[in-house]
A and B are shown apart, each in its own frame.
Chain A
Amino acid sequence: MSTPSAKTATSGGKSTTKTTTTVVKTTTTTVTKKQPQQLSLTPRSVSSKTKRPKTRPNGKKAISSHTNRELNAGGLMRFSRGRMFQRRALHRINKWKGAQAKLQGDKTKKTAGSIQKKKQRKPASVKKPVGGERNGKQRTVLAKRFPRYYPTEERPKKFSAKRKTFGSHARRFRSTLAPGTVVILLAGKHAGKRAVVVKHLASGLLLITGPHKLNGVPLRRINQIYVIGTSTKLDLSTAKFDNLDDKYFKRVRPAKKNAEKDIFDSKKEV
């Protein structure tokens, strides 16, 4: 007979419980794997409470000894690099993979993890025919010539293409500010008023509207940090706002005057 202990019912966070067997004289204690108590202040507490699925999408079982954990969002990991190497047993896996590759007769591969096959090496020097009577008919010439020029200084490095410009950064939006949410404005001319979030713009700003007729808040862009999301949500799924994007709100400069015009004309306009 086994009954789950009362202790596990109240434990918070992730816990894998094992059922206790109550013997007549003694009770064995449960072995529960509890995560260390996370402070409610840290944002990580939200994500740590969601359960990780036991099987990964590719059907393989998730092994907890293969994963490393961050301690209390401090950047410190639970296991060091060397320890993780041991836990993942990569040294054994790689050895096994190499043995497998050899069994399959692939002798060029040292491990199955080698990305490309070893290319057939071209001979380093080539024999080329040479004209002239007394030139020995052939010359051994290097197949790949050495560079003609070695620069004395390194070329000035340009920014690598991997560096993302600000325009291409991913914009994140708070989950409480989904389109259709009623929102309280905290700053600016309309501080204190409630408005509706119409859309998330590509620049990271929110597009909001009073609506204008109700409270005088126009169609306006506003940053997420100047806004509190309320729990009231409207359904905007039927409405379309395709033409409203950052370009729509771009400042329109007055058109430049033609240079071909007469000087006297332009003076009059001034």
Chain B
Amino acid sequence: LYVKAVFTGFRRGKRNQHENTALLKLDGVNARRETNFYLGKRCAYVYKAKNKTLVPGQKRLNRVRILWGKVTRAHGKSGAVRAKFRRNLPPKALGRRIRVMLYPSRI
């Protein structure tokens, strides 16, 4: 139960980038007006690693790992969105899928 999004890059000017804020392009969201629903929603960057670790809620060790964050504000006119993650996203994630969950819900 999530909305698909793509990590398009870090917040940046032409020559400087600030890795603490990520830019996300949400699927189907093309106007700034439409981003209002997503503000505050939790996002997850899901990836796999070599070593297995414990995942909360599951008993078996898992290769899946998650970086959590949240959508903070809109970015630009065309439905892009800024998000801040608890730890900065790795550049490896550029162009990769990010899940924007539907909670915390306000409706």
Contact = CB atoms under 8 A, between A and B. Distances in A.
Interface in A123-176: 174, 176
A186 B105 contact: yes
Contact of A187 (B36, B103, B106, B107): B103
B93 interface: no
B1 A186 contact: yes
Interface of B: 1, 33, 36, 101-107
27 contacts: A41-B33, A41-B36, A174-B106, A174-B107, A176-B107, A186-B101, A186-B102, A186-B103, A186-B105, A187-B1, A187-B101, A187-B103, A191-B1, A192-B1, A224-B105, A225-B103, A225-B104, A225-B105, A225-B106, A226-B103, A226-B104, A226-B105, A227-B105, A228-B102, A228-B105, A228-B107, A229-B107
Report the 3 A-B pairs with minimum CB-CB distance, sorted nearest first: A225-B104, A186-B103, A186-B102
A222 B103 CA distance: 13
A174 B1 CA distance: 22
Q: Is the interface of B mostly helix, strand, loop or mixed?
A: loop
Given A186-B103, A226-B103, 16 more contacts: A41-B36, A174-B106, A174-B107, A176-B107, A186-B101, A186-B102, A186-B105, A187-B101, A187-B103, A224-B105, A225-B104, A225-B105, A226-B104, A227-B105, A228-B102, A228-B107
Contacts of B101: 186-187
Contacts of A174: 106-107
Nearest to A183: B105
A131 B91 CA distance: 98
A192 B102 CA distance: 11
Interface in A189-238: 191-192, 224-229
- The listed residue with most A CB atoms (<10 A of its CB), out of B33, B36, B107, is B107
B86 to A, nearest CB: 18
A101 to B, nearest CB: 52
A251 to B, nearest CB: 18
- The listed residue with most A CB atoms (<10 A of its CB), out of B33, B104, B105, B107, is B105
B101 to A, nearest CB: 7
B87 to A, nearest CB: 22
A248 to B, nearest CB: 24
A21 to B, nearest CB: 41
